[in-house]
Structure 1
Amino acid sequence: MTMTQIGQLLDSTVPMAHTLGLEYLETTPERAVLRLQDRPEYRNHVGGPHAGAMFTLAETASGCIVLAAFGDQLGRAVPLVVKTETAYLKLAKGVLTATATLGRPIADVVAELDKGERPEFEVTVDVAREDGDVTSTMKISWTLRPNS
């Protein structure tokens, strides 16, 4: 799947990603970079993006990696989020960029799936302001649930 195809797929199957107008800047099997523009309707009580918008940005970035890395496995397994952990480090203001990285080698995950197991893997996402300061981090545990 190409970066454009992944962005189109997520926009069509995840209405919230489309609603936020997320921009897909880079998508590879090991890294994804997405941007959330600063819009007044997304802001919270301190003038930064609402935590829900930030969560969607980070989770969608992780989904881009999952589709890029394991899109060829979708005929036999469904990717699902198992758990998330978010740390808010600094006040987020303005345009935000999420950079996601895959935490395990793709071949190891596929090998577990080949054995009939339900592999789990982590995607880590850093969300940063335009000045480069990381405002939050998210660890997202995914699984590939084999189709029955």
Structure 2
Amino acid sequence: MGGSYKLNKMATSIAKLQSIVPNSFQPMALSYVFNSMVKLAGTAGIRIESLTHTNARVSLQNKKKIQNHIGGLHACSMALAAESATGILIGMNVRDTHLPLIKSMKVDFVRRCEGNINVEASITEDDYKRIHEEEKGEVLVKCTVIDESGKEPIKADMLWAWIPKQRRSKL
């Protein structure tokens, strides 16, 4: 799954799941695990299509409960899909001694969404290396959101940071 770095708990669980679940069932299994941890993603129905140490692909179906008043995916549901794709990618790379934190979301609404969406997020090998080696830092994770027309209804960039977990002082 990832270079020569030690996998965190999340990446270890994902790698184990990917090794025992047949390829055709992996999206369903990965989505179930993610959606049970991230309740809003589960409510919306985020589906993880594929996941590696530098790339995540998720999809979101245009269902009534997450539509806007004109029948397209609501703006916030598309932003959630972009945040989920980038977040799972960062979350599986940040060391267990550190916390992933989203610092900012830049979402430009370009056009009305037509149908379902697919989101692809990726980090470079240099970003991957920095996340594993630097004590704290941030990375801008770009993602591409494509609807059923083959066009981008939104353009999104998510700025993620990682910081050491705070140790609780004993009183």
TM-score computed with the length of structure 1 as normaliser: 0.85
Q: 1-side partners of 2:112 and 2:54: how far apart?
A: 28
Instruction: Specify the SS of the correspondent of 1:134.
Output: coil
Shift of 1:6: 5.4
RCO higher in 1 or 2 (8 Å CA, sep ≥ 6)?
Answer: 1
- 1:132 matched to 2:150: yes
Q: 2-side partners of 1:10 and 1:63: how far apart?
A: 11
After the TM superposition, list the runs of 4 or more consecutive aligned residues in structure 1 that deviate by more than 4 angstroms: 3-6
Q: 2-side partners of 1:147 and 1:40: how far apart?
A: 39
Q: Is the 8 A contact 2:93 2:132 kept in 1?
A: no
Q: Is the 8 A contact 1:27 1:68 kept in 2?
A: no
2:92 matched to which residue of 1? 68
Instruction: Specify the SS of the correspondent of 1:140.
Output: strand
2:71 matched to which residue of 1? 47
| Aligned positions of 1:70-89 closer than 5 A | 70=94, 73-74=95-96, 76-89=97-110
Which of 93, 104, 107 is 2:129 aligned to? 107
Shift of 1:68: 3.0
Q: State the AA in 1 paired with 2:132.
A: V
Gaps of 5+ in 2: 1-10, 19-25, 167-171
Higher strand share: 1
Superposition RMSD in Å: 1.8
Count of aligned residue pairs for this structure pair: 141
Shift of 1:28: 1.2
Instruction: Specify the SS of the correspondent of 2:150.
Output: coil
Q: 1-side partners of 2:109 and 2:129: how far apart?
A: 32
Gaps of 5+ in 1: none
Q: State the AA in 1 paired with 2:44.
A: L
Percent of aligned pairs with the same residue?
23
Shift of 1:10: 2.5
Q: 2-side partners of 1:53 and 1:107: how far apart?
A: 31
